[in-house]
Amino acid sequence: MNITGQTWAIAMSILGAVFIFDFFNARRRPREVKPLEAALWTIFYIALALGFAIFLAQQVGAQASNEFLAGWLTEYSLSIDNLFIFIIIFGALKLPKEREQAALMAGIALALFFRAIFIGIGAFVIHKFVAVFFLFGAFLLYTAFHLGKGGGGDEDWHEGRVLGYFKKKGLSPFGLSIIALGITDVLFAVDSIPAIFGLTREAFIVFTANAFALLGLRQLYFLLGALASRLVYLSKGLAVILAFIGLKLILEAAHGVHWTQIGSVELPEIGTNFSLIFIVSVLAVTTVASVVKTRRSGD
């Protein structure tokens, strides 16, 4: 896959322009965002990511586009689950609604910073030691099991000693929120970076998929406030996706060390197209099942 300097420049220009616009928009208008406005902006950011996938297909090729879509969908889905934790954090710290936009933008900036570091480390380690995929895969299988049995939800956030220390020092709810988001961003990156490296080894795809997934989170946060109770099966769907990627990583590691079969059984290789179809299918089934469940429950 040949990612040229021009492609990097165009991608960084788009992401930089969108981030700057979003930053100043949030800073200039400190207010609570209504669900309709949040929905329209969410659609815009989804369309922007899909447009970038088309750009990649034309400039780099279909494989790059499919890897980006699979990575973006996975990161976006994980981000939705993580936003529920943000809702709990802001509520627990009693952050005023009009300050949530600014806090979210700071959180997104921190997430981009931390993930860029993790991506650089991950790309270096994978380049040197392909067998590290065994470790990544096992970790994702554990995370999937934890999510599947009901973990990884709202109950997983606790104030902790670091936040408690700054709280005693009299730091404002806004400052405490930034620290809390920074800590959770690091924890989220531990899940998300191995997951996307299971779909592509190209650092450009990993970074842009993460960036496009993160940039629309501020608007999506306010939309989820109205939809949080309806996505009842999201964690289950994410558990299936993470388990699938974990298995894919282990298979890739096995092939990387020339272990291609167990006895007479040939170990399969899972392609990008199949991964994309699988992820889309799981998310579609999860969404439909959630809607059916909540309607039957009368929510």
pLDDT greater at residue 25 or residue 276: 276
Q: Which of the two residues, 258 and 78, has the higher pLDDT score?
A: 78
Check residue 31 and give its pLDDT: 60
Average pLDDT, the chain: 81
pTM of the model: 0.79
What are the pLDDT digits (tens) for 119-171? Answer: 888 888 877 777 777 887 888 888 888 777 765 444 455 566 777 777 787 88
Residues 6+ apart with CB under 8 A from 207: 115, 116, 119
For position 118, what pLDDT does the model report?
85
